[in-house]
Each structure stands twice: as structure tokens, then as C-alpha cells.
Copies of this chain bind each other. A is one copy, B any other.
Amino acid sequence: MNHPDDIRSQLLREATRQFAAHGVDGTSIQAIAEAVGVTRPTLVYHFGSKAGLRAAVLEGVVAHWRAALPGLLLAAASGGPRLDRLLGALFGFFQDDPNLARLIVRELLDQPEVLTALLRAQLTPWTAVLCEAVRSGQAEGQLQPGVDPEAFVSLMISAAVAVSALGQHAGALVSPEPGLHAQQAELVRVARAALLVPRRKEG
């Protein structure tokens, strides 16, 4: 299902790869067609234009996101340390395909209105759930009262995407270089410490 090998799907996958790696403007549709083994007019036949291909790639990314989200939130809800699971699942999502995070960052820079409009429609309901969860945790005294729920949630999304897309290179600025995994773990730890009211240690 995820990897049908008809020409159109192959073109879509290859385009996602190359757009993520070199950017849309840095990729020729010729290169994508060649990699799949067809001619450029064939690609144009399937997607109408380079802009059409770009839109199809974005739709695919958003669809992937939307399909994965319920699973993420479910994992988070299934008892245990919720926050850790949620962030862990989010990282897992991006780690399965690091190109995805890069593509999102690129499109956020290149055409923010287009991508945010697509994403907003799909995941505002879910982020609203998260913000509400923070708020009720604060009301119950389990979460820090100083947290700004909306700012916190969008900050964590930014940070998770940024670490997934750029973490490997950002780590190179520090020595000894922390791996991607260490940075992800640190983000989870940081989020936890910032969110939870510390339990009193006894003794």
C-alpha cells in the first residue's frame, strides 16, 4: 500500500526525495523522470506541470502526517509517561523518513502560506487537544502554571522538526559532538522538566 510501484507513485516518491534533498528550485523534473526511467514529458503528463508535482508531493506529506497522528496521540494516551511517549512517537515519525522533516522546513521557508494552510486544516484539532491537556494538567496542579500552552506546543513542534531536519549538523558545532539521538533525548528531558511540577523527594 505504502509503496505501489506504478509510474506515478514512483515519480512521487522520487520527487519527494529530491525536493527534500536539493529543494524544489534545485531539482529539475528531468532528473526525477530519469531516476524513475521515463522521459520528462511523461512526468508532465502525470502531474501537469512542475507546480502540479510540487502540490502532489505536499499533499502526500500532509496525508502521511494525518494518517500517523491518531496513532501518535493514542500512544500518548495509553498510560505511563504520556509526554515521553508522545514526543518519542513524534521523533519516530520523522526518523522513519528524515527527508520529510527537511521537506517541511524547506516548504515552510519557500511558501509558508501554502504549507501552513494545508497543515492547519489537518492538525489544528489535534494541537487543540494537546493545549487543552496542558491546561487541565495545570488546573489539577500536575503541570507548571507558568507554561503558555499554545506557545509551548508550537515550540515543541518547531523544536522536534528542527532537531530531526538539522540536528545532525547543529551537533557539529559542539565538541564532543552529540549524536542525533542524544539531542532528541535531551529535548524530551527538557520538555519534561519544563512541564511537570517536580515531585517532592522524601528523605
CB within 8 Å of B: which residues of A? Answer: 22-23, 25-26, 102, 105-106, 108-110, 112, 115-116, 119-120, 123-124, 127-128, 131, 144, 146-148, 150-155, 157-159, 161-163, 165-178, 182-183, 185-187, 189-191, 193-194, 198
Query: For the complex, what is the distance from the CA of A151 to the CA of B48, rounded to whole Å?
Result: 45
The reply to whether B105 and A172 form a contact with Cβ atoms under 8 Å apart is no
The answer, among B25, B131, B165, B178, for a CB contact under 8 Å with A174, is B131
Docked CA distance A102–B127 (Å): 25
Known pairs A158-B159, A162-B159, A191-B190; A153 contacts B174 (CB<8 A): yes
Give the distance in Å from the alpha carbon of A58 to the alpha carbon of B95 in the complex: 29
**Which residues of B have CB within 8 Å of A112?**
168-169
CB of A69 to closest CB in B, whole Å: 12
Q: Which residues of B contact A171 (CB under 8 A)?
A: 150-151, 154
CA distance A48 to B171 in the complex (A): 33
Given known A148-B185, A159-B159, A162-B161, contact A116–B190 (CB-CB < 8 A): no
Decide yes or no: A23 and B25 within 8 Å by CB, A109-B105, A123-B173 being known contacts. Answer: yes
Q: Is the CB of A119 within 8 A of B162?
A: no
Q: In the complex, what distance in Å separates the CA atom of A186 from the CA atom of B155?
A: 8
Contact A189 B146 (CB under 8 A): yes
B residues near A174, Cβ cutoff 8 Å: 124, 127-128, 131, 150, 153-154
Distance in Å: Cβ of A128 to nearest Cβ of chain B: 7
Give the distance in Å from the alpha carbon of A167 to the alpha carbon of B25 in the complex. Answer: 23
Residues B186 and A116 in contact, CB atoms below 8 Å apart: no
Contact indicator B148/A109 (Cβ below 8 Å):
no
Q: Measured between alpha carbons, how far is A144 from B173 in the docked complex, in Å?
A: 23
